[in-house]
Amino acid sequence: MNYFSSNFKLGILGGGQLGKMILYHTRKYDIHTCVLDPSKDAPARLACDEFSVGDLLDYETVVNFGKQVDILTIEIENVNVEALETLEKEGIRVYPSAKTLRTIQNKATQKLFYRDHDIPTADFSRFAHTSEIEDAVENGGLEYPFVWKSARFGYDGQGVKVVRRYTDLVDLPNVECIAEDLIPFKNELAVIVARNSKGHLKTYPVVEMEFHPEANQVEYVICPARIPDNIAKKAELVALKTAAAFEHVGLLAVEMFQTENDDIIVNEVAPRPHNSGHYSIEASYTDQFEQHLRCILGLPLGNTESKVAGVMVNLVGAEDYTGNVLYKNIEDIMAMDGVTPHIYGKKQTRPFRKMGHVTIVNKDINKAREVAEKVKKTIEVISE
């Protein structure tokens, strides 16, 4: 099929920052794109050829949108899977598949999938409602501490809480959930696996993620991870096993823990471009967004090696600010060598909202990490 400067149409469900960054490359290749998002102000609205406002969880809306395109992809998991199943039956190619999304959308189903496919993961218990957890603790079936996770609609630190005592349960929503063993770990790692529609596979280098202690959001993504080669190889093999089990097409970001005993266990996955791959725009030969396109279009995969070491810093809304966004001291960070800010185009800031990211590249990963700290302390995402 001719994708370039042709009548071919690529549909993207979701018009957030990931969609916007995919569109950098559809523009480069002159691929006609249609984007559906619930917000008329979505970051991707300006870069696509056709923009539609609509609910991604509404069956009719997604089916009607999908019928207009040749291939449909996503930049967010929370979409109507029944609609995708209908579109697949009607011959629309959907990547990742409805089957993969159905498994991943629900954290309980996702964890059962790992168990069924012998993929290492933390032990867990599944509950129809959070209110059942108290009984499980009283009856000895569950012990503090554990990690509570909402089965649906959790993201960016939402829907996750470490429960150390009864009072930690009080404000949690009464929803389907899992209680997961709290694993002592040395590092949080991630590997992005790229697989095209012909079954060809490539992995990006293992990255290390440093989290904000309160917001449970990634603060820094460091590539390459500062770990021994044998641990990196182990993480890569676990990621490849996970990707093979899903038989996915596109990118699969596999988030993992390196335990105190140097075991690698899978935390969760995302079947799309991912925060842990943003560094690749500046640091890799082929960035994750171009690679996602190559995967879903069945094109040859690009080189996943890094040209240079990279650290990514998330730009999130400062805690006490809500309103029209202002990026304070952005000129100061742009004066630093190897620093590139990416502003997502969200006009309104609120505490911990992802507003952009900054990549720092350097031949020396430790130097890049030092500059990243400086960037983090200098720039502020506030309101006017």
Q: Does 171 appear as a known binding residue?
A: no
Q: Could you give the strand order of the β-sheet that contains 32-37, starting from the edge strand earlier in sequence?
A: 50-53, 32-37, 9-13, 71-74, 93-95
Q: For residue 119, how many other CB atoms are within 10 A of its CB?
A: 20
Q: Does 85 appear as a known binding residue?
A: no
Nearest to 268 by CA among 358, 157, 354: 157
Question: Distance (Å, rounded) from C-alpha 308 to C-alpha 42?
Answer: 32
- Return the percent helix, strand and coil in the chain, to nearest 5: 30, 30, 40
Q: Are 343 and 358 in contact (CB under 8 A)?
A: no
Q: Does 333 appear as a known binding residue?
A: no
Q: Does 40 appear as a known binding residue?
A: no
Q: Does 364 appear as a known binding residue?
A: no
Distance of CA 114 to the CA centre of its chain: 18
Q: Does 138 appear as a known binding residue?
A: no
Q: Are 43 and 20 in contact (CB under 8 A)?
A: yes
Question: Distance (Å, rounded) from C-alpha 191 to C-alpha 349?
Answer: 30
Q: For residue 290, how many other CB atoms are within 10 A of its CB?
A: 23
Q: Does 22 appear as a known binding residue?
A: no
β-partners of residue 36 are 13, 52
Distance of CA 148 to the CA centre of its chain: 20
Kindly state the DSSP code that residue 202 receives in the 8-state scheme.
E
Q: Does 202 appear as a known binding residue?
A: no
Written as six digits, the tokens of 52 are: 């539609």
Q: Does 188 appear as a known binding residue?
A: yes
Kindly state the DSSP code that residue 224 receives in the 8-state scheme.
S
Binding positions are: 107, 149, 180-183, 188, 267-268
- Binding-site members for ATP are 107, 149, 180-183, 188, 267-268
